[in-house]
A and B are shown apart, each in its own frame.
Chain A
Amino acid sequence: MRKNFCSLFKKDCQIMLAGKFFFVALGSLILYTLFINFGYIHYMNAELYNVYLYDPQGTQQEVSDLIHPVASLEELDAALSADTNGVGIDASSGTPAVVLYHGSEKTDNHSADYGLSLLHQGNVHTTQIVGTNTPELKQRKEMCSELLFIEIIAVGFLGIASVLFKEKQMGVIRVHGILPFKKSLFITSKLTVFLVSDLIFAALMALFNIGFHEAAGILPDILVQTGILSLVMALTGFGCTMLLNDFRQFSLAYVVIVIFASAPIFLSANTSVKMAWIDWHPFYHVYMGLKNACFGMPVTNPVYYICSACGIVILFLIVRAAFHREMGKEG
């Protein structure tokens, strides 16, 4: 059995190398690393809103360094018309009055509060800081978990399909039907190749973007969550490839799966948009597991791991049935 598995594994690696899949993964890794290190963390350091203060009598004595003083009401108007998201404060009467372009009620209130808060230096309210992450590290971890999730559900999913569709077109899957080995090994070998590739990707992604020192402690948890997601996606990709006729049909299924898998999850996990049904979305829990692993808070609930294991076993059985069906197809 080990000899048969080695033969299958070696052949799968050869096909993956021939299909240039590793170059796609490497390209993604470089792109994501450049984005996080040279783009994302800098964008996120940008100020929320520019705040312009007109205070001819100097009534505001303890203003923040982030305030932009203006010399006249005309200059304040000009600044706001050039920066429509900006917040203006007219303190010419001695009492600060907020001037801004109307957006939505919630945004306007938020902008006004932020603008007024800059009239005082230092912290007015005492804030309890949770965790030890610096803002930059938090941003790195957040983006790392998001990109890792996207990479595995999108690129990994496509990768297994590209390899399998080739084998399907060549007809060699049918030949495996009459070879003396356990047919489940064919599926296991493919899963192993993609699992190893995803784990290496996740490790490099964490090391390059979270930092060697910080990543070392959380890497095992990240790898566990990556492993769960990788197996689920590889099995889903395998099943779709067996059931669908060609890559065109698969591409459509891929778009649907990616949209339905990722869009609601990112909205629920990263914004104030909350969907009542999101708790029923299995990928939401896997994503949160991955994100929490990046923040050093691994999932400890055994129900999560039992459900994941059951899901993987059920998918494996479906895929095995689809694989047997494919072996019995006409040429």
Chain B
Amino acid sequence: MIEVKDLIFSYGKDKQALHGLNFTVGDGEIFGFLGPNGSGKSTTQKILTGILKGHSGYVSLFGQNISTAHTQDFFQKIGVLFEFPYLYENLSAIDNLKYFSSFYPANQCRDIGEILEKLEFKTDFLKKPVSSYSKGMRQRVSMARALISSPKLLFLDEPTSGLDPSGAVLFRKIIEEERKKGTTVFLTTHNMLDADLLCDRVAFITKGNIVALDTPKRLKEQNSNQRVRIAYLYQGKREEKTVEIPELERGIPFRHDEIISIHSEEPTLEDMFIQYTGRRLS
């Protein structure tokens, strides 16, 4: 679906934002693009969506070179959720969606009412202006806008931002459903839980370079310290011990009466983010 080779981009002469990125995204894959602020995530997404011109290197989408791909036909096949819910504040959710969907062929568009219902949008706000909506409601309308044209390739920038936990769960469920339909998802986020739960593969980008690219599981495994923490009871006392995994092959290597829990000390995706990018999540 997406193929990027040696992608370089500079803002002016002295400010190189991307230093030769290489990655591919397969059909129906959810690909996480993770990195701190200013790392080049947005620049990459803008190049892929055709907003930013003037890159060098090879980029293809839908099997077509990007320099010729950004036609109306291309824009009909993509959906983009921006970092912020950009909507006409004086118009209602329905009017916003009617307006934005009017640019796509009618047979390609989903039913507005149905999609808003799926996103659990409060029906009594349907005809009220967006200026009266909460951040979560605006995010729902923005997601509806991105999905309304049944895109084959979906660019999502911080999709669960501004949502409460149940809203975040709902969005993840919807993204999963889209993938099941065959939609490819390019996900840009700081939310490591979203990336861990949703992404087939993730790339860590920092200072315009991809420093790691693999499945979240393998990235964690590769950086695991091969230890487990065991909580147990012995002679009525609760104790904890950290054990190297190879030691476990011969059984629990200490005296105990009862094992309470065994936790691997595998790093989280957030630990990986900090390790690869050298930056903490804010």
What string of 1s and 0s marks CB contacts (under 8 Å) between A159-192 and chain B? 0000000010011101101111110000000000
Chain A residues 5-59 with CB under 8 Å of chain B are 7, 11, 14-15, 18
Q: How far is the CA of A163 from the CA of B102 in the complex (A)?
A: 21
Q: List chain B residues, Cβ under 8 A from A67.
A: none
B72 adjacent to A181 (CB under 8 Å): yes
Q: List chain B residues, Cβ under 8 A from A18.
A: 90
B88 adjacent to A178 (CB under 8 Å): no
Q: A7-B102, A175-B82 are in contact. Are A328 and B90 (CB under 8 A)?
A: no
B51 adjacent to A327 (CB under 8 Å): yes
Instruction: Kindly state whether residue A74 has any CB partner on chain B within 8 Å.
Output: no
B49 adjacent to A178 (CB under 8 Å): yes
Q: List chain B residues, Cβ under 8 A from A248.
A: none
Q: List chain A residues, Cβ under 8 A from B100.
A: 175, 179
A-contacting 9-mer, from B73-81, B117-125, B218-226, B250-258: B73-81
Q: List chain A residues, Cβ under 8 A from B87.
A: 170, 172
Instruction: Kindly state whether residue A4 has any CB partner on chain B within 8 Å.
Output: yes
Instruction: Kindly state whether residue B99 has any CB partner on chain A within 8 Å.
Output: yes
Instruction: Kindly state whether residue A131 has any CB partner on chain B within 8 Å.
Output: no
Instruction: Kindly state whether residue A62 has any CB partner on chain B within 8 Å.
Output: no
Instruction: Kindly state whether residue A331 has any CB partner on chain B within 8 Å.
Output: yes
CB within 8 A of B102: which of A3, A14, A171, A327? A3
B103 adjacent to A172 (CB under 8 Å): no
Q: How far is the CA of A243 from the CA of B150 in the complex (A)?
A: 34
Q: A14-B91, A15-B90, A172-B86 are in contact. Are A178 and B50 (CB under 8 A)?
A: yes
Q: How far is the CA of A331 from the CA of B90 in the complex (A)?
A: 20
A interface SS class: helix
Q: How far is the CA of A3 from the CA of B103 in the complex (A)?
A: 8
Q: A170-B89, A175-B100, A179-B75 are in contact. Are A328 and B82 (CB under 8 A)?
A: no
Q: List chain B residues, Cβ under 8 A from A65.
A: none
Nearest 9 CB-CB pairings of A with B:
A171-B86, A180-B75, A7-B102, A180-B72, A177-B51, A18-B90, A180-B76, A178-B80, A179-B103
How many whole Å from B139's CB to the nearest CB in chain A?
13
Residue of A nearest to B102 (CB): A7
Q: How far is the CA of A167 from the CA of B80 in the complex (A)?
A: 18
* Residues of A in contact with B (beta carbons under 8 Å apart): 3-4, 7, 11, 14-15, 18, 167, 170-172, 174-175, 177-182, 324, 327-328, 330-331
Q: List chain B residues, Cβ under 8 A from A167.
A: 88
Beyond A170-B86, A172-B86, A175-B100, 19 additional contacts (C-beta under 8 Å) are: A4-B102, A4-B103, A7-B99, A11-B88, A11-B99, A14-B90, A170-B89, A171-B84, A171-B86, A175-B82, A175-B86, A177-B50, A177-B51, A178-B51, A178-B80, A179-B103, A180-B72, A180-B104, A331-B86
Q: List 24 A-B contacts (CB under 8 A).
A: A7-B99, A7-B102, A7-B103, A11-B88, A11-B99, A14-B91, A15-B90, A171-B86, A172-B88, A175-B82, A175-B100, A177-B50, A178-B50, A178-B78, A178-B80, A179-B75, A180-B72, A180-B73, A180-B103, A324-B53, A331-B82, A331-B83, A331-B84, A331-B86
Q: List chain A residues, Cβ under 8 A from B72.
A: 180-182
Q: How far is the CA of A174 from the CA of B145 in the complex (A)?
A: 13
Q: A175-B100, A180-B104 are in contact. Are A328 and B88 (CB under 8 A)?
A: no
Q: How far is the CA of A18 from the CA of B129 in the complex (A)?
A: 12
Residue of B nearest to A4 (CB): B103
A328 adjacent to B91 (CB under 8 Å): no
Chain B residues 53-87 with CB under 8 Å of chain A are 53, 72-76, 78, 80, 82-84, 86-87
